[in-house]
Each structure stands twice: as structure tokens, then as C-alpha cells.
A and B are shown apart, each in its own frame.
Chain A
């Protein structure tokens, strides 16, 4: 499985990478929404799922999801929001933008991986 994870916190990026790579998930990282788009556009194979933070500089998670959903070549990629937020209004906004699911940080490694496996149908 290939996952693109976007978070402006180096700590969280490192943790996500450690968590996913331990499970054999190929992980690509990006530092904010715009960087995420750049990285995504540069990938040889599109990822099976995307994890994104919401609050990021330059382009936040909502904007990132919106832009991805507008591009046909990325249609159908599950996008999970990974955030410390848990407010319903934000969830509604993420959903309107096209998010697939919502995971609250701090995350339990097994469940993060489990969620990715479920939305992608991959192991």
C-alpha cells in the first residue's frame, strides 16, 4: 500500500512514517497542502490513500482536499483527515470538501493502519 501523509509538524510526520513503514506501507510525506499537491503530482504511481492534517500554512487540509477532488486523475482516492480537532462543524466542512474519514490525533498506530487498510481494501 502507498500512502501520502501531509502534516506541517515534523514530529507528526516522523510518527506517521514510523507507524506506516513498520507495517510495510510505502509512505511519502509532505509539509502542507500545496507541498502535498506538488508531491502528489510528482509521484509515479498515485497513492492508495492520503492522510492530511487540517491546520497547515500555505494551503490547509480543506483546501487540499477540495483541489484534489476537482482533479479527475485523483478521483476515488480515500482521504482521511488526521487532526487534533474533533469539532462537528469542522467535520462537516471536511466532508463537504470531499474527505473520506476522520481520525483524531494522537492516534493509535494499530487503528490508523486498520483504518487505512479498510478504506483501501489493501493489506
Chain B
């Protein structure tokens, strides 16, 4: 990759981070925070985006962030109060900035969003005149370096001195003060810079030089007189002085026109405050006192001059490093391999007949503990708080509230809960959809809420918490809840459920997860975007997660997602079915039972059912469900493990997939509950029904990880779905 392309990638990554901190800061302001650090951070985020955008010549982005920054500067300097109205404008501007960055990232040509609101904020402040001028003195042009006058043109070829008359010759006397060298200024460099303006003759004046024994290496003791014959006839004193801009405090400078062809030193050198500094059209007070008179009081930090001069507290040292994700993943993989080879070692030792209490076995136990700790530590590197994800949702809520005309407040909880980075990234879309749904379908409008005796402002709650080795994320609202009569009625009308079928409340609620299911009278622009809750469910399942809905009529609805902490390890039940060992994710298993074959009931010629508490649930044979050919199913590889299960006992795992009610999977034997390291099947395989991934067991054998939902689907246990083509979403209206 071209290094610049890599930096471009960095820039957009950084923009995402900056947008996050911008939003976090603005939300804190919205919540009433007034502290200067927050305002500074907000300002800096926009400022940094502008800086980077300039480097890539992204003019619209520079232009918009400049306006945004100008308005934020008013906030920072206290000219603008962070009241609710102003913060809302900033939040909206933040959204616009995000969109603009996204457009630039995609390489599309953006248009600069309307900044009338931002500028409106400045209407009552001193900034009004400056900010309303679009031609602010910032030239976001790539390669158009605006070096300060000190350097300006200092590196171009020296121009030929033109034949200007002698009375245009300037005499510059320059006497460095002791600090000049300490501040890094070099007289020679200043003279070189002067050369750009014309031909110069430099004469060193040695009368101030102390005797050799008294010389201080940090003090020059020299004065210079420079005769400057300008190459441009209209050279001004200001232009000459600009060369010395950074040395003005550190020298006595005199600039004057030579009155006659002969050189005459001015009698009384003056300090710089006697000359008018260039104003550059900015906000300097005309009566600003000379800087020399204020050497100790000139503020040197960005705090306002009246702020108390407290010493900066000692900040904590930098405690983070940035590591390429690929390196972390390599480490995660290696630790996975270590776990596998260690369990192979453990099994090898058992086979070798080592005593349980032998030293080798005890040491191996210690090693196992260490490996587990190491695995946890490595996984925690990939873990990220869900905070950034939750923050993004505030915008979704704002937009959805705006477009539905509902009053919505978002409450969040457990933002510090950590989960795998990939999970955080892939939860964005499902959460967005769930929140839109909650606002669009769940919450009533303010009038209906008041009529129902509720507060007019609806509440959407987004929470995260860790529950043993899983993270539960819940989106809930205090709206009307699922209207079950209507859901069932529509499901029957759509042919999703046979008429007259009695479904319990949970079953009705789960109908919402069917593709294309829409209970809205009209498909709104908000949630009716062609994706339904089925897409949400699939996304969650892809993350080895489960989704559940609970609803109370009139009080609200909650959808909770349970996700594994990591995508690299799975808690599974190792089972055996027809000489194959397979892993069934523990998260899907409700219960395991060993029953006698006599308790399996037949329903018609093909279906079998077993009893689970008060219900009968369908039963599927794992090998059959996986579609193993019968040859394989009857084959025995000769190992003792592979004997057919005892005919009298049948091992059953009751599982619950999202698409179906509970069902039983029959296996030959349930071996053990293990954490397994998830290995992808590899790209060559594409999607294999009923298989989500694979793992390597302790004995070195590969075992497939079963996808229970896939088993349900291939065995026809799923609730019947309409063919999407026959029921496009628009036809459901």
C-alpha cells in the first residue's frame, strides 16, 4: 500500500475516534457538564478532523469543520453559553460532520452541509462579523503551504537585485538579547531569510564583545548592521520586520530607510514596539501594550488570563499502546493452539496410564490453569467496552424521534461492559434496527401516552451486563408492548400460522422474528427499510448469540440479546452420534436427559416426539438431521468408542433455536462439557448447513460444531415461513 494511502486509512480511523469523543463530550454538555476539559476535548476533536482533512485536500470537510470549530471556539472562550439549544445545534452538526466524513471516506463528492444553525449561534457574539465571512484566512489547499513570514519564501532562490535607487536601501540594525540563542534562534538564519527580500550586506559590530576571559557561550555580544537593497521597489518596513517576528522579544531591532547613498547608522535604536506589527486582519486590540512591557505576565497557556495560575497536576504516564489487530489475532490463535495441544497432552498422559497423583499430572494441572489464565488475558485484549456502540445509538434515537414526532429519552446502563471487538462492531446494525423498531412501533405518540396515564416522553433503555461468560444486551421501551391479538391475526392472514392454532404469548411474540413480518399499518420510512427482525436475529446468531423477547401489554417490550464474551472460544457439549463426535453449543441447550427408548412416541410415519415437562416436543436424530449418508451412519471405524448406543437408553439434548420452539436432538452419547477453540471451516467450504464451525479436540480429532437452528430448518421444524417473493414487504401493508 502506498504510504499515503495507509495514512489516509489512519485518518478515517482517527476521525471515527474523534467523532466518538466529540459525541461523548457533547452529550456530557447536554447533561449539564460545564467543565473546561470537556469543552476543550470537543473543540479539539473538530480541530483535529480539520487538520487531517486539510492534509488530504478534503476541502468541503475542512470548510464545514472550520465553521463548526469557529462556533465551538465561542463556546470554549465563554462567549457562547452551552445551553440546551446550542448543544442541540452542535449535536446535529456532529451528525452532519459524521456523514460528511463517511462521504469523503467512500470517495464520493460531498456537499458542505448547511451551517446556518451554527452561524446562528454566533449571531449574538463578537464572532459574528468574523465568522460570517466565508473567506476566513485558512486556505485548505493541499501543498499551498502558508509558512509564516519568518519562513515565507525563505527557501526560494535568491532574487536578482534590481537596479533600485539607493534611497530605497534599508538599514537594519540587529542586536540580539542574551536569550536569543537559548530560544533556538540563529542570527545567520535570520540573515538568510532577509536575503529573500533582496541583496544584503552584513557588517558585524564588535564593540560589545567582552574580553575573552568574560565570554559567556550563551551570549552573543555582537550587533549587526545589515544593508538591504530590495529586489521589489515597494518593500515595506512591515515585511522586513516580519522576518524577525519570532526574535522581536529577543533583540533590539531598528529598521529605517537609508536617507542618502551613504550609509548612516541611526543614532537611537528602538525596540520593536515602536513599529506597528502587521495586523493580519485578526482580532488584535489596537491598543495592545508592547510585549516587552509584559514579559512576565504574558499568558503562555491557553487558559484565559484571569484564570488562577495553578500548577498543572502531574498527569498519569501514558499507559496504552496501539497494536495492530492482526497481531492480537495471531496471539489469540496461538493461545488457541496451545490450549488444544495441551489437552492432547493431557489425554496422552491418561492413555499412558500415568497415576492421577503423579507429579507429571499435577504439573500439567498447573499448566492448564496457567493456560486458561493466559487465554483469558489474551481475550481481554480484544475486549472493548460497549460504550462507543451505545453512544452511536444516541444519534439513532435523535433521528428516529425527530422523524416520528415522538418524544424519546434514551437511558443507558452498563456502558463499561466489555465484549469482543468484532461483536461490538457487528452489533451496530442490529441494535440500530431494534431501537428504530422500539421508537417506531413500540412507543406511542405523546398524546396516546398521556391518555394512557404515562409521561409524554417515552423511554428507550439500552443496557449491557455480564452474566457469567456471556454478555446480555437489552433494548427495552415503555411503550404499548406487543399487540398479540393483532400479531396472531396477521400471522394467520399471512399464512404463517394455521388458523385456529392456539399459541402461547411467547410463541406469538416470536412470530415477530419471521421474515417480512410487519404489524405496522404502513411501512414507515423508519423501520420499514426492507429488513425485519429476522435479519437482526440472523446477525445475532452469526455471533453465536441468542435473542429473546418479552412483552407486557401496555407497559412495554424488551428484547434481550445474549452473546458470548469472545468469538474464539465456545462452551459446548461434546456428543457422539454414529461414530462422529460433534459439539453442540451450550448456549442452545435447555436440558439434557437420558430416557429409555420406550418413551419416544411416534407421530405418523416420520415424526417422533418426546416429552419435555408438560409438552411433547419434536425429536431429531443428530446424524439424520445432519444428513449423514446411511453408509457412514452404519459404518464402524472399529474403535471401542463407536459401539452403538444402548438400545434401551437414548441421550437427548433439548435445545431451543430462535426460529422454532424447543426440540430434542437425539445422540448416541453425551461425552463431556468443554470449552472448545473455534476454528473456521475455511473459505473452500462456503456455507455448510447445520455446521457453524469446527474445533480440534484433545485427542487431535476434528469435531464439527453443530448449528441447532440449521438442524431445525433442515428437519422441517421451523415455523413455516412464507416465500419472500410471494410476500414482499409492501404487500403486507
Contacts and interface: CB of A to CB of B under 8 A. Distances in A.
B300 A63 contact: yes
A10 B47 CA distance: 13
Contacts of B291: 92, 96
A104 B48 contact: no
Nearest to A7: B51
A115 B14 contact: no
A54 to B, nearest CB: 8
A89 B181 CA distance: 23
Contacts of B318: 31, 35, 38
Given A66-B300, A96-B291, A106-B145, A9 B282 contact: no
Contacts of B186: 78, 119, 121
A112 B44 CA distance: 23
Given A38-B317, A84-B51, A96-B249, A102 B150 contact: yes
Interface string A90-123: 0111111111111111111011101100110100
B7 A15 contact: yes
A9 B147 contact: no
A3 B455 CA distance: 61
B552 to A, nearest CB: 47
Interface residues of A, number: 59
Contact of A100 (B143, B184, B283, B317): B184
A1 interface: no
Given A60-B302, A88-B282, A77 B184 contact: yes
A120 B248 CA distance: 20
Contacts of A38: 317-318
B181 A76 contact: yes
Contacts of B499: none
A51 to B, nearest CB: 12
Nearest to B149: A102
B305 to A, nearest CB: 11
B189 A11 contact: no
A38 B41 CA distance: 22
- 9 smallest A-B Cβ distances: which pairs? A108-B145, A78-B184, A102-B148, A100-B184, A11-B52, A114-B155, A104-B146, A11-B11, A106-B54
Interface of B: 3-4, 6-7, 10-11, 13-14, 40-41, 43-44, 47-48, 50-52, 54-55, 57, 137-138, 140-148, 150-151, 154-155, 181-186, 188-189, 192-193, 218, 245-246, 248-249, 277-280, 282-284, 291, 295, 298-302, 312, 315, 317-318
20 contacts: A11-B14, A12-B55, A14-B10, A15-B55, A55-B302, A57-B41, A57-B44, A62-B301, A76-B182, A84-B47, A87-B283, A88-B280, A95-B245, A100-B185, A104-B148, A105-B51, A106-B54, A107-B145, A111-B147, A119-B186
Interface of A: 8-12, 14-15, 18, 31, 34-35, 38, 49, 55-60, 62-63, 66, 69, 75-79, 84, 86-89, 91-108, 110-112, 114-115, 118-119, 121
Given A34-B315, A59-B315, A100-B246, 10 more contacts: A11-B11, A11-B14, A55-B47, A57-B40, A75-B182, A75-B218, A84-B50, A84-B54, A95-B245, A100-B185
